[in-house]
Structure 1
Amino acid sequence: MLYRNMLKPLLFRMDAEKAHHLTIDGLHTASTIPGVNSLLEGLYGVKQTAALESTLWGIHFANPIGLAAGLDKNAKAVAGFSNLGFGFMEVGTVTPKPQAGNELPRLFRLPEDTALINRMGFNNVGIDVMAKHLEQTAKRTIPVAVNIGKNKLTPNEHAEDDYRACITRLYTYGDFFVVNISSPNTPDLRSLQHGDDLSRLLAAVQDEMKLQHQKHGGAAKPVLVKIAPDLGTDEITYMVQTIVASGVSGIIASNTTISREGLTHRHKGEAGGLSGKPLTERSTQLIHTLYELTEGKMPIIGSGGVFTAQHAYDKICAGASLVEIYTALIYEGPSLVRRLNEGLQQLLHKDGFANITEAVGSAHRHR
């Protein structure tokens, strides 16, 4: 109620990107004040229940709801987000060198469509500053994934060097890593999703992860690939074959879309990636396809248009082991995380599942 009645009207009167920075900076500052973390946890924390717990890649997730990449680009508010009930979160996308991103304005709200369009362009502080931020939150309470990309000026034939650099610098700080090759806002980045480019890039990423594991020891850390929703059937099939052959640990489906189908808001013509409710069904169908193509053997994180527990549950039943939110958090506020978890428990109970893992891919078993 506090967010919907007071904070949201204030933030939505501001420029979208200014509101974004105010939120991140505010959450960062609040988490440094004694007692605030406990207050946030009391207001928005999620009661832990065995029904929602799972373990993937040797990592424990207290619940399946995570924060997608793009909100905390620089890992500045990890401590704050850790107290909002999330089961995990992504930071980034980060690139080796700092970069300013695309020209302003580059973030647009579409309230009538319950959506966002962004063309941020991987604006971030770079791997060295992110490393400092993550070091300051080493005692975080949830798993953190580092979403990595290439700098805008790095040609695709040298992209693997940028991904290697991100892994080398940040390996000790991330619980797992996400290879972002699907943002529509970096020129030619999506070309890395196809053919030899994808195979070569993932081979380099896997090699670097192996080198860092040998250097630092401990359990091997997983790597996931984040893909676009704007792919044809043949493209998805070939991509999945390459991803599976590379030996990576999972797939995130999906990034933002370049489609504008069904939009009504005046910003619908803005260039960039679209997120929010228009992506709900598209991303869920992509999860269905991925689950079938991988025969349910490769974990999937579902992302795109999750506003209700039913949306999250549909993605889980389609084959997602975990689910991420971003745009819905902007529209609904932090209490959404608790509502999603409580709703998921009710849906699991209704269908006779004792644990969330039993529901993963269940839509395929009922076909």
Structure 2
Amino acid sequence: MIGPFEWIGRQALFAFDPETAHGMSLSALKSGLPICGRVTSSERLRTTVCGLDFPNPLGMAAGYDKNAEVPDALLGLGFGFAEVGTVTPLPQQGNPRPRIFRLTADNAIINRLGFNNEGHERALARLRARSGRKGIVGVNIGANKDSTDRVGDYEAGVRRFAGVASYLTVNISSPNTPDLRNLQARESLSELLARVMAARDTAGAQSVPVFLKIAPDLHEADLDDVAAEVTQKNVEGVIVSNTTIARPPLKSRAFASEAGGLSGAPLFERSTIVLAKMRRLLGPDRAIIGVGGVSSADTALEKIRAGADLVQLYSCMVYAGPSLPSRIVRGMTDFAEREGLSNIRSIRDSRLDHWAARPLD
């Protein structure tokens, strides 16, 4: 439950439009605020994925810290890892404002930002400046809207950030860059992954894992194709999922028809079904990060039961406040202790059949 100080803070931020409030929250983190109780991750939550040792399985998803301004401040909130970006080779403004909409009654967000960011050079300089610091920080890479070679943009991102990233995420699933999701089609995906993995290996960064971030709006046959290409190209993992262009029943009618990707609580069910189906297709050894509607320890644990190795959140923190990651980590620790689990990973796949059997359409 959100505390009184966070409730007051939320009311103050909600007096501003969402994009202004987002900028204010970044400024607060840069200044050392908010001050949240530090959480010491239990050994029961430690997990190793793709050769990386995570103090706990909860991460901040891409989209919040687009320009790698506050990854260490995010880790200080209790996250076991943080993912910055999406970063494109050249700076771009993104889509016209307004482009973020709060669906408060649904604990949801619709955005059509369009990869607004300061470009590779600014993010790279900040990440180089934190060299030597502890903490797992991934970099989410994308393509410029007007690029004539989008696959080349991803290759450039791999080469640019392989030396400073704990892992790299290839984001081809944002609905806010025209035709970007077409890269999920099998022939295009095959070329993309082949070139990305070759760029990673040529850069001498074979130890840096690559994740593919997919949309929750894919159909069963699409998932088959994605899994086949990920396996064939030996991509280390998949992130399930990005925002959805679908509109499940929503209470917040004022903005429900706005164009863009829906995230937050309403995404939990669909994204968890896709996650479980992808786990079935990929088998037990390929890494999966579950994203979408994580708002509590219970929802984070359910992602793991459905097949996730790691879990990320973003939108739900808009409503629950900056203490949400520490509350989730404490809740997961309490659960592991109550159940006598030596490690939280032991519940992975325990409800895989339940979620994978549910229809997508």
TM-score (norm 2): 0.94
Name the residue aligned to 2:287.
299
- Structure 1 unaligned spans of 5+: none
Equivalent-residue separation in structure 1 for 2:14 and 2:236 (angstroms): 38
Name the residue aligned to 1:6.
8
Name the residue aligned to 1:131.
124
Name the residue aligned to 1:117.
110
Equivalent-residue separation in structure 2 for 1:288 and 1:350 (angstroms): 26
Offset from partner CA, 1:96-122 (integer Å, 9 cap, x none): 000000000000100011100000000
Equivalent-residue separation in structure 2 for 1:366 and 1:328 (angstroms): 24
Say if 2:314 is the partner of 1:312: no
Contact 1:95/1:124 (<8 A) preserved: yes
Offset from partner CA, 1:271-308 (integer Å, 9 cap, x none): 00000010011111111111111122211000000011
Name the residue aligned to 1:177.
168
Offset from partner CA, 1:124-150 (integer Å, 9 cap, x none): 000001011112222443201100000
Identical aligned pairs, as a percentage? 41
**Secondary structure at 1:51 match in 2:** coil
Equivalent-residue separation in structure 1 for 2:196 and 2:278 (angstroms): 21
**Secondary structure at 2:94 match in 1:** coil
Q: What's the RMSD between the two structures over aligned residues?
A: 1.7
Q: 1:79 deviation in Å? A: 2.4
Label 1:366 to 1:184 Cα distance change in 2 as closer, same or farther (>3 A).
closer
Contact 2:224/2:281 (<8 A) preserved: yes
Offset from partner CA, 1:302-353 (integer Å, 9 cap, x none): 0000011110111001110110010111110111111111211233344442
Matches within 5 A, 1:1-367: 1=3, 3-28=5-30, 30-31=31-32, 40=35, 43-155=36-148, 158-213=149-204, 220-265=207-252, 266-364=254-352
Q: Which amino acid aligns with 1:196?
A: E
Offset from partner CA, 1:260-281 (integer Å, 9 cap, x none): 1111211001000000010011
Equivalent-residue separation in structure 1 for 2:334 and 2:71 (angstroms): 29
User: Which structure 1 residue ranges, 4+ long, deviate > 6 Å from structure 2?
Assistant: none
Equivalent-residue separation in structure 2 for 1:352 and 1:286 (angstroms): 29
Offset from partner CA, 1:203-232 (integer Å, 9 cap, x none): 000001001126xxxx61000000000011
Offset from partner CA, 1:65-102 (integer Å, 9 cap, x none): 10000000000112211211110010000000000000
Equivalent-residue separation in structure 2 for 1:166 and 1:354 (angstroms): 38
Structure holding more helix per residue: 1
Equivalent-residue separation in structure 1 for 2:202 and 2:142 (angstroms): 19
- Structure 2 unaligned spans of 5+: 356-361
Name the count of aligned residue pairs: 352
Equivalent-residue separation in structure 2 for 1:296 and 1:229 (angstroms): 21
Contact 1:182/1:255 (<8 A) preserved: yes
Q: 1:240 deviation in Å? A: 1.1
